Amino acid sequence: MEGINLVNTFAEFKQLKNIDRPTMMSVLEDVFRSQLAKMYGDDKNFDIIINIDKGDFEIWRNRTVVEEVSDPNSEISIEDVRKIDDSYEVGEEFAESIELKSFGRRGILNLRQNLSSRIMDIEKANLFNKYKAKIGEIIVGEVYQVWKREMLVMDEDRNELVLPKTEQIPSDFFKKGDTVKAVVEKVEMKNNNPIITLSRTSNTFLTRLFEQEVPEIFDGLITIKKVVRIPGERAKVAVESYDDRIDPVGACVGVKGSRIHGIVRELRNENIDIINWTSNVQLLIQRALSPAKISSVKIFEDTKHVSVYLKASEVPLAIGKGGSNIKLTGMLVGYELDVYREADESELEDDVMLSEFDDEIEGWIIEALQGIGCDTAKSVLALSVEELVKRADLETETVEDVQRILRAEFE
């Protein structure tokens, strides 16, 4: 009965954890051999026959019949054998059945513990390999627990996955029982436990959402060339089609925005700009900065910088809310973008270039202001303190000091 229970324990694990039959047989035999080696010093002369279907097993100890025993583990005396069966002669092999009860209560307990331990190791290895192959794929899970720094997600097989706070969109809010969609970011072993990390801020997550929503991308008719994101705020997706009959931007947006709306909702209303890809850097910048109209562009290949010149009214459009548009465009083209305001001659007569104040204002502050398109004194004074603080990432006190210096010039 103890033997049946032991094999049934393994059968339950097999059913729950989907362990294949050869692995199941191998593990059970290894567990028995390990216990036999502890009890007898060696397991080489034992045969273990396991019948998984019936839920039982047999253990046979094989020893050579001898006149005088020198190794009790591999030899048995003719005298002892004839007490059991008098048909044996010296030199023959004697097979003796080993009952599980001979292992003792402690031995049986060790068998069960070792079996459970081996199953757990197999389960962990299977989980690790399963999700290692799923890196970059979208999975849908159920929120099981929410903590301050991370969230525990259960997949359909009740495996535990982790969604760190850093991999969540800033406006994400989940509670226990909610359904969450994310991409498998990384899989690693820590202290012999597989840790599966999910992400909703990864560029790959946005790419996979497009593949789900846009059949032409999934089928390879449209290619996503590059994705850049400020999660939850704004993203730019450059697409290309090798079929002239397909409009890649139109196909991604869908009729009345039907395709893009689903993605935007999943990303907590993240604004998504879809751009026609081109290898022409100047043209790509013009497309990426749209709807702002660029006057001219100067590319400096040696320093990987680009100077973008626009009319004063176009500068806010090019920079975008919090500088997101200009930042993402730079990430998309792989250059550092500097925005310059193009002033009319009449404006320049009454204005002063910001660089003229380098004796009163520190150089890095001037560069920060020039980076958001404010290259003259009046362009800085035309913006509020709050807007300059947000766009140029400067302290309120610093901006107030700069405006005071510039205001004094005109007074």
pTM, 2 dp? 0.70
- Sequence-distant (≥ 6) Cβ neighbours of residue 331 within 8 angstroms: 228, 236
The span from the CA of 272 to the CA of 229, in Å, is 9
Q: Give 162: exposed, middle or buried? Use CB within 10 Å, 0-12, 13-18, 19+.
A: middle
First to last CA, the chain: 102
Residue 110 falls inside a structural domain: yes
CATH of the domain at 46: 3.30.1480
SS3 77: strand
Please give the Cα distance from 147 to 218 (Å, whole number).
35
Query: Is there a single domain that holds both residue 48 and residue 108?
Result: yes
22 occurs within a structural domain = yes
Task: Report the pLDDT value the prediction gives residue 359, as an integer from 0 to 100.
Answer: 86
Identify whether 376 is part of a domain.
no
Looking at the fold, whether 46 and 99 belong to one and the same domain comes out as yes
User: How many CB atoms within 10 Å of residue 398?
Assistant: 17
Q: In total, how many domains does the chain have?
A: 3
Token reading at 24: 């199941």
Residues 189 and 226 in one domain: no
**192, 124 contact by CB (below 8 A):** yes
Residue 398, domain member (yes or no): no
Residues 220, 234 share a domain: yes
> Is the same domain home to 66 and 81?
yes
**Residue 6 sits in the same domain as residue 69:** yes
Sign of the CA dihedral with 367 first, then 368, 373, and 379 last = negative
pLDDT computed for residue 260 by the predictor: 94
pLDDT in tens, 268-322: 999 999 999 999 999 999 999 988 889 889 999 888 889 888 887 788 888 888 8
Residues 114 and 189 occupy one common structural domain: no
Q: Tell me if residue 383 falls in helix, strand or coil.
A: coil
User: Which tens digits make up the pLDDT trace of 371-406?
Assistant: 777 878 888 887 888 888 887 888 999 999 998 988
**Is residue 175 helix, strand or coil?**
coil
Q: What is the DSSP string of 224-274?
A: EEEEEEETTTEEEEEEEES-TT--HHHHHH-GGGHHHHHHHHHTTS-EEEE
In a domain, 348, yes or no: no
> Can you tell me the distance from the alpha carbon of 156 to that of 289, in angstroms, rounded to the nearest whole number?
43
Q: Please give the C-alpha separations between residue 95 and each of 55, 92, 104, in angstroms, as whole numbers.
A: 22, 10, 21
Do residues 6 and 127 share a domain?
yes
Intervals of the chain under pLDDT 50: 1-4
386 within domain boundaries: no
Q: Which domain holds residue 265?
A: 202-277
156 with 251, same domain: the answer is: no
Same domain, 27 and 101: yes
Give the residue from 259, 277, 295 where a domain finishes: 277
| Statement to judge: residues 245 and 207 lie in one domain | yes
- State the Cα–Cα distance between residues 333 and 267, nearest whole angstrom: 23
Residue 345 in domain = no
Element (H, E) at 68: none
The CATH number of residue 178's host domain is: 2.40.50.140
Would residue 309 count as lying in a domain? no
Of 277, 310, 341, the last residue of a domain is 277
Task: Give residue 45's pLDDT.
Answer: 86
Same domain for 227 and 109, yes or no, is: no
Q: Report the CATH number that the domain containing residue 237 is assigned in CATH.
A: 3.30.300.20
Angle CA(122)–CA(123)–CA(127) in degrees, nearest 5? 115
In this prediction, residue 74 carries a pLDDT of: 83
Last residue in a domain, options 260, 277, 294 = 277
Count of CB atoms situated within 10 Å of the CB of 57: 18
Closest to 291 in 3D by CA, of 327, 315, 255: 315
Paired tokens of 67: 């006149």
At 335 the pLDDT is 92
